[in-house]
Amino acid sequence: MPHDTIAAIATATGAAGLAVVRVSGPGALAAADAVFAGGAPLADAAANTLHHGWAVWPAAAVAGGAPARALPAQGRAPRPAGQDDVAAAKRRQAAGPPGEQSPPGRSGAAGERACTDNAGIAPGTRLDEVVVAVFRAPRSYTREDVVELSCHGGALCAARVLAALLAAGARLARPGEFTLRAFLSGRLDLAQAEAVADLIHAETESAHALAVSQLGGELSRRLAAVAEAVRDAAAEVEARVDFAEDVGGIEVPAHVVESVAAAEAALAALLAGSAWARTVREGVRVTLVGRPNAGKSSLFNALLGDARAIVTGQPGTTRDLVSEGLEVAGARVTLVDTAGLREGGDEIEALGVARARASLETSAVVLWVVDRAAPLAEEDRRIAERLAGRRVLVALNKSDLPPAVAPGEIGSLLDGVPHRAVAVSALRGDGIVELTGALAALLGTGRAGGLAGAVGNRRHADALERARAALARATGAARAGAPGEIVALELRDGLSAIGEVTGESVDEDLLDRIFSRFCVGK
Amino acid sequence: MMSDAPSGSTRVPQDGLHVRHCGARSPHERAARSDVAVAGATHERDTRSDAEVTGAGPAGCEAAVASATPERDGRYDVVVVGAGHAGCEAAAACVKLGLRTALLTVSLADTAKMSCNPAVGGIAKGHMVRELDALGGLMGLVTDRAGIQFRMLNRGRGPAVWSPRAQCDKARYSVEMGRALDSLPGLARVAGVARRVRLERGRVAAIELDDGRSLRCRAAIITPGTFLNGVIHVGPRRFAGGRIGEFAAVALSECLAGLGLERGRLKTGTPPRLHRDSIDWEALDAQRGDEPPMPFSHWSDRLEVEQVPCWLTRTNAQTHRIIRENLHHSPLYSGRIQGRGPRYCPSIEDKVVKFAERDSHQVFLEPEGRDVPEIYVNGMSSSLPEEVQLGFVRSVRGLGRAEMLRAGYAVEYDFVLPHQLDRTLEVKRVPGLFLAGQICGTSGYEEAAAQGLVAGINAALRVQGREPLVLGRDQAYIGVLVDDLVTREHREPYRMFTSAAEHRLLLRADNADERLAETGFALGLITREQVERVRAKLSAIEAEERRLARIVVWVPATAAVGDAVREAPAPGAASDDGAGADAGPAPVTRKSDPAAAARALRALDLVARPDGSCAALASLGVETALPPAWAGCLEVRTRYRGYIERQQRVAARAAALEHLLLPVALWEEPLNGLSREAREKLARWRPATVGQAGRIAGVSPSDVAVLLVHARRFAIAG
Ligand SMILES: Cc1cc2nc3c(=O)[nH]c(=O)nc-3n(C[C@H](O)[C@H](O)[C@H](O)COP(=O)(O)OP(=O)(O)OC[C@H]3O[C@@H](n4cnc5c(N)ncnc54)[C@H](O)[C@@H]3O)c2cc1C
Ligand SMILES: Nc1nc2c(ncn2[C@@H]2O[C@H](COP(=O)(O)OP(=O)(O)OP(=O)(O)O)[C@@H](O)[C@H]2O)c(=O)[nH]1
Ligand SMILES: [Mg+2]
């Protein structure tokens, strides 16, 4: 099933200095040539070369040799998934030769925008000054011919260049379609394809580093070693089941149990970093709670370095949830300011309090703001009760004023809930650095070993946790004297869970191992 | 008892024809059957009247089978070539399904000859024999009749891998198999050598013999074992033959090649045979059978057999030295043998070379029969020259004066690369041509028999126009075997292992009947009596489970089971009203010793404990009425319930993908995105399902993901 030629804006929307439009497929060079006016045709360009010139409105669709197609009408309803395939396949049957173009598929917002008001543009009209990179199959991201046109930043230039490419016969790529092609062409394995998605979504330095490490196959490498050890252990156990009379001896020898235990420990170590790695990848929500007037909104603003929330001397100022992104030591944090928690108040405030409570319930990490200049009140006691089971950081606010809360009072209110308390003054900015440090520590930064090979993806973490648990059951069963086939069952479960991450198959070579290591057969 | 067909079929003369019971058939299938009778009939006719059919009920329809006598030229529905372990099962299955069947073999006396070791069963192989038996196969019954020592292997391990094995009297085995075949009404046993498969309009039409005879048929099953272009090696000597002293099927092999089938070459070997009286038995350790012996067959009740022991000894440094010094005489190490041998049944040369660090290997001495002098030297398969074999044999403890009755030898033979077969064992490109046994690249009697059954059943179903039978990997080792054969690449003879079955805990020797008897009955391979027997066993076990779930026993918290104090069952606990195990323990009103820190346990949970068993319960006064074998099944089910349920869930999940069909036309597509290796392999194997595709070596999970994408697109486009 030959691929058609797809195009899309490859850079994030926004006010970046550059925007890249990428075209991939058998007609990529032809489509690019149709919109490129430069020194020489791109079709003659060598692989991995850069060319300077102008992007222009094309005369007619050329990619794949198909005539120009009508662009989709404005506001056209998105078609359900799968229909494109039907249409494409039908046309293939009708028209025969591969390379035939599909019309733009389920158009994304950018495509719709790009494809609207071009009707009157004259062929040859200059759209933008561009630098074009030419990659030839198979040495490209998708292993197809790929052309990347770097335009000036801002939404408009790139959108017009994209529209031109579509007019030249390329089809608008669906989300993730370039990566899908890279995966389909075998250039990326599953874990790497996922890393690309992570990379695209990485908003902080650490998340980027984590994705890059995974793209390089660091995690797969570490897991390969673990899987190898488990496979060897399984081979030993299986040999004792299938060749009872040849191999004989005890069911699961001690050295096998030990090597499984070591593999389990290795997985546990990888997973120990996973909470932090996941924080890095997915970000974490931190809710600020406290009584009215404790200074939550003031602290929120101080942490952001921006007067984002309204601050007044009147209790009950904040009504709705206010949230803002923040980077804390490489982790993406979403700070949520809330209404001060108290009973009563007007209808609006009551609704705000309900939202605050809901946000608190769903936050793993809570920043409790206490007004240290006033004695603790009944509301504080109620809040403390709700904090059990969460990671808690206490900000003892208004440190610029004389304290009214004795040291230890907070601890006795929190009664056994682990927490750290930091004195701050939101008004003056004292202690904010310390508070940020404490928050970073709470999120798990500063882990030894860095992020290389860490498990930053929830799917991976789940699979590896299942693998670890299976190995733990295997050693448990072996130590309890369970028969070999039960231990083997757990080892196979563990291997297949690891395989879900590395994309490897599991027992293909089990027999090979048995034969290469044991003398079996009468 | 020998005159009864193994399936329990009855012979009822009627209109001069033999009529026997067979399984349920739909009207559609009945129509297909009479079509067979008409199309193929010369002197037979279908005696079933419609009244008989409607009156017989769903499972009792009657099929007429001609009492064919061997004849010079014949017309059959199916001709089976080769009466080895595969051929015998294939022919029996065809007859049971009501087809006019001929079993052609070189010499009737060699029927089901045990070419190599005198044993049936063993780990994983024993499982397959039990499965065959549940599907009406002959091997289990014949083994029960010819066995001289019965053992359950792996007893020290969990019951899922307990495997029955029996030493057999080789000559008796052949005789008993012959009798079992003779008791099948209408089977024609023909002596002769097949030379060619004749096709007409691309389909199998006849088997031609080298004496000019021709057996017309609508399907043929080829099971020539090690005979296809067989070459025997003993040291430097080599000569044609499939077994020592026998012929080699050269023409047949060429004929298969002529049909466009790709062949490969494999080898296997057999050890020397020693004279019983030349062995110093005093120096050896005996290995005895189980008492009482456990029968192989579900349909054998008790075995009355005087068992004989096998004997154990070991090789030593001198043995290894002699072998090493003579390696240059080995056809294997001098390069005269090209075919690949099995790694699990290595020659002694292989063992000494590949495991140089071991200074000793086990040797088992197994009698080839009750009244024959041959002793089989298990573990010393060799193709070194005779005098070298004698030298190393005599270096072994207890064999110092041993006399060799026959030297060990190796045989090289052609096989047909099995990816050219469907899961029914039909050759993909030749409708009506089925292959089974060693010819498909396997080794072992049980593997051959299992394929024989599959090919026999499917050849019959094809002739009758019925749906094929494909056993799943979670259903039977036989299913695993066939699936592995047709989807994997084989560089050595394939032998079954329990580790080949990913759902091993579901595929036990104790539940083969539970897994397969209903299938066997629905097809017509076993009788109603037989399936009723299985149903009765199952319902008795389930009822007992329910009962034991409602009896409460008191176990002192610290004491072993034996010290437990039994609590009287709650009212109604002994009744089997189906209230079920879910009801939980019945309320307990009285404790024998209120002071003791005793713990209430359901009797069933006690059985589930590692130290628990039905016998332990009996010691607490909770007697079970189940016969010991059934009580054993209950123990397995109970003790492994958690694991079994886990595997069932995994199997169900796998099944969803497993059974997703890949359209044949998909292979005409260029299938972009697959690795080159995967594309080549897939194009060659053309797997029928996604599950099969995933098991092909070289097809990675990402290839499977890609294939899924293509299959979906294809389905939409189609
Ligand atoms: C030397 C040797 C060593 C072996 N070693 C082992 C071992 O170590 N382990 C193991 O598991 N298995 C071993 N076997 C294999 C075992 O014998 C086979 O796996 C098994 O018998 C195969 O069964 P089958 O039904 O396919 O063929 P076979 O049992 O070989 O039966 C084939 C039958 O077909 C007949 N036949 C062949 N060609 C024709 C023709 N053209 N026309 C008519 N009839 C024909 C033959 O006469 C024979 O009766 C060995 C076999 C040999 C010969
Ligand atoms: N002296 C002093 N005053 C502070 C400090 N932080 C906040 N305040 C004052 O406390 C008052 C309440 O501040 P907010 O930040 O609105 O308090 P809040 O917790 O958001 O209150 P609600 O939104 O009503 O729940 C304002 O008058 C702030 O100026 C501090 O560190 N020191
Ligand atoms: Mg506020």
Domain boundaries of chain B, sorted by first residue: 18-114+175-267+414-513, 542-647, 660-717
Q: Is the dihedral of CA A401, A406, A408, A409 positive or negative?
A: negative
Whether B123 has its CB under 8 Å from any CB of chain A: the answer is yes
More confident residue, B286 or B567: B286
Residues with CB under 6 A from ligand 1: B 81-87, 104-106, 110, 115-116, 193-194, 223-227, 242-243, 249, 252, 268-270, 345, 411, 437-438, 443-445, 448
- With respect to residue A203, please indicate whether it lies within any of the assigned structural domains: no
**Residues A183 and A219 grouped into a single domain:** no
Residue whose C-alpha is closest to residue B118's, from B176, B165, B151 = B165
pLDDT at A192: 62
Q: How many angstroms separate the alpha carbon of residue A430 from the centre of ligand 2?
A: 14
What average pLDDT does range B680-686 have in this prediction? 83
- Residues shown for chain A: 522
* pLDDT recorded at residue A522: 41
Indicate left, alpha or beta for A55 from its phi (over 0: left) and psi (-120 to 50: alpha).
Answer: beta
What integer pLDDT is reported at residue A200 of this predicted model?
A: 55
Structure confidence by residue, pLDDT tens digits, B700-712? 665 776 677 666 6
Q: Give me ligand 3 centre to Cα A427, in Å.
A: 13
Q: What is the pLDDT of residue B4?
A: 38
pLDDT in tens, A253-263: 889 999 999 99
Q: Cα A489 to the chain's mean position, in Å?
A: 33
Question: Which pLDDT score is estimated for A110?
Answer: 37
Instruction: Note whether B345 contacts A521, CB cutoff 8 Å.
Output: yes
**Ligand 2 and A400: CB distance under 6 A:** yes
Contacts with B, A 185-204, CB within 8 Å: 185-186, 189-190
Q: Are A216 and A493 in contact (CB under 8 A)?
A: no
Nearest CA in chain B to A85: B713
Question: Could you tell me the CATH number of the domain that includes residue A494?
Answer: 1.20.120.430
Q: What tokens does A87 get?
A: 């249409």
Structural domain ending residue among the three candidates A416, A446, A476: A446
Instruction: Specify which of A275-284, B21-30, B584-593, B603-612 reaches the highest per-range mean pLDDT.
Output: B603-612
Contact by Cβ (8 Å): B423, B458: no
> Do residues A17 and A148 share a domain?
yes
Q: How confident is the model at residue B503 (pLDDT cuts 50, 70, 90)?
A: confident
Query: Would you state the structure tokens that stand for residue B493, as one six-digit string?
Result: 């003879």
- Of all residues in chain A, the one with the smallest CA distance to B159 is A483
Any idea what the CATH number is for the domain that residue A397 is in?
A: 3.40.50.300
Residue A58 covered by a domain: yes
In a domain? residue A487: yes
Q: What percentage of chain A carries pLDDT values higher than 70?
A: 67
CATH topology of domain B18-114+175-267+414-513: FAD/NAD(P)-binding domain (3.50.50)
Residue B177, both tokens: 């198999």
Whether A244 has its CB under 8 Å from any CB of chain B: the answer is yes
User: Which residues have a Cβ under 8 Å from the Cβ of A173 and sit 6 or more positions away?
Assistant: A6, A7, A8, A22, A24
Average pLDDT over residues B195-210: 96
Residue B247: both structure tokens together: 């012929």
The band of B619, judged by pLDDT with boundaries at 50, 70 and 90, is confident
Whether the per-residue pLDDT at A16 is higher than 50: the answer is yes
DSSP state of B341: P
Search chain A and give the residue with CA nearest B123. Answer: A242
Beta strands B101-105 and B187-191, pairing class: parallel
For residue B538, the one-letter residue type is L
Tell which residue, B276, B233, B226, B251, has the closest CA to residue B113.
Answer: B226
User: Is the confidence at residue A68, as pLDDT, over 60?
Assistant: no
The mean pLDDT of chain B is: 81
By the 8 A CB rule, do A313 and A304 touch? no
A439 within a domain of the structure (yes/no):
yes
Tens digit of each residue's pLDDT (9 = 90 or more) over A38-60: 888 999 999 889 999 999 999 86
Most confident of A47-56, A353-362, A501-510, B687-696: A47-56
Helices (H), A109-189: 109-114, 155-167, 177-184
Nearest alpha-carbon partner for A56 in A121, A147, A141: A121
- pLDDT tier for residue B500 given thresholds of 50, 70 and 90: confident
**A96 plus A149 within the same structural domain:** yes
* Closest C-alpha to A178, from A159, A197, A191: A197
Q: What is the pLDDT of residue A281?
A: 64
CA A311 to mean position of chain CA atoms: 35
- Using the structure block, give the residue that is written with the tokens 């272009």: B229
Give the mean pLDDT of chain A. 75
3-state secondary structure B89-131: HHHHHHHHCCCCEEEEECCHHHCCCCCCCCEEECCCHHHHHHH
CATH number at residue A115: 3.30.1360.120
Does one domain contain both A122 and A166?
yes
CA B662 distance to own-chain centroid? 28
Residue A207 in domain? no
Nearest to A519 among B153, B160, B355 (CB): B355
- Does residue A210 lie in a domain region? no
| pLDDT: which is higher, B155 or A102 | B155
State residue A12's pLDDT score. Answer: 57
Are A370 and A394 in contact by the 8 Å Cβ rule? The answer is yes
Question: What is the spatial distance between Cα A69 and Cα A57, in angstroms, rounded to a whole number?
Answer: 15
Any residues with CB less than 8 A from the CB of B317 and at least 6 apart, and which? B359, B360
Cross-chain residue pair A522–B362, CB shorter than 8 Å: yes
Looking at chain B, how many residues does it have? 718
Report d(CA B698, CA B695) in Å as an integer. Answer: 9
Q: Does residue A373 form part of some domain?
A: yes
What pLDDT, on the 0 to 100 scale, is given for residue B595?
Answer: 43
Residue A314 pLDDT > 60? yes
Is a pLDDT exceeding 80 seen at residue A283? no
- Is the pLDDT score of B61 beyond 50? no
pLDDT at residue A454 greater than cutoff 90: no
- Global ipTM: 0.71
Q: Does A486 touch chain B (CB under 8 A)?
A: yes
For A87-146, the pLDDT digits (tens) are 333 333 333 333 223 333 333 333 333 333 455 678 888 888 899 999 998 888 888 899
Query: A119 is in which domain, residue-wise?
Result: 6-187
What the block records as the tokens of A300 is: 């929120």
- The pLDDT, as a whole number, for residue B385 is 92
Q: Calculate the dihedral angle through the C-alpha atoms of B535, B537, B540, B545, rounding to the nearest 10 degrees.
A: -110
Quick: pLDDT tens for B383-439.
Answer: 899 999 999 999 999 999 999 999 999 999 999 999 999 999 999 999 999 999 999
Give yes or no for a contact between B581 and B617, defined as CB atoms under 8 angstroms apart.
no
β-bridge partners, A112: none
The whole-number pLDDT of residue B582 equals 40
Maximum average pLDDT range among B38-42, B47-51, B419-423, B518-522: B518-522
User: Does residue B85 surpass a pLDDT of 80?
Assistant: yes
Q: What is the pLDDT of residues B176-191, one digit of tens each?
A: 999 999 999 989 999 9
Q: Are residues A269 and A363 in the same domain?
A: no
Integer Cα distance of B79 and B414 in angstroms: 21
Those of residues 465-504 in B touching chain A at CB distance below 8 A are 497-500, 502, 504
Sheet holding B374-378, edge to edge: B285-287, B310-314, B362-367, B374-378, B273-275, B404-406
Contact, A38 vs A54, CB < 8 A?
yes
pLDDT of residue B647: 83
Instruction: Based on the fold, state whether residues A148 and A261 are members of the same structural domain.
Output: no
Please choose from B79, B80, B85 the residue to mutate so as to test ligand 1's pocket, defined by most ligand atoms within 8 A of CB: B85
Q: How far is CA A481 from CA A253, A484, B503, in A?
A: 10, 9, 22
Cβ–Cβ < 8 Å for A455, A226: no
- Give the confidence band of B669 by pLDDT, cuts at 50, 70, 90: confident
Q: Please, which pLDDT band fits residue B236 given cuts at 50, 70 and 90?
A: confident
Superfamily of domain B660-717: GidA associated domain, C-terminal subdomain (1.10.150.570)
Return d(Cα B627, Cα B604) in angstroms, integer: 17
**A269 and A304 fall within a common domain:** no
Mean pLDDT over A299-304 rounds to 92
Q: Does B701 touch chain A (CB under 8 A)?
A: yes
What gap in Å lies between CA A178 and CA A141, rounded to an integer? 8
Ligand 2 center to residue A434 CA distance, Å?
19
Q: How many domains does chain A have?
A: 3
- Domain stops at, among A187, A204, A229: A187
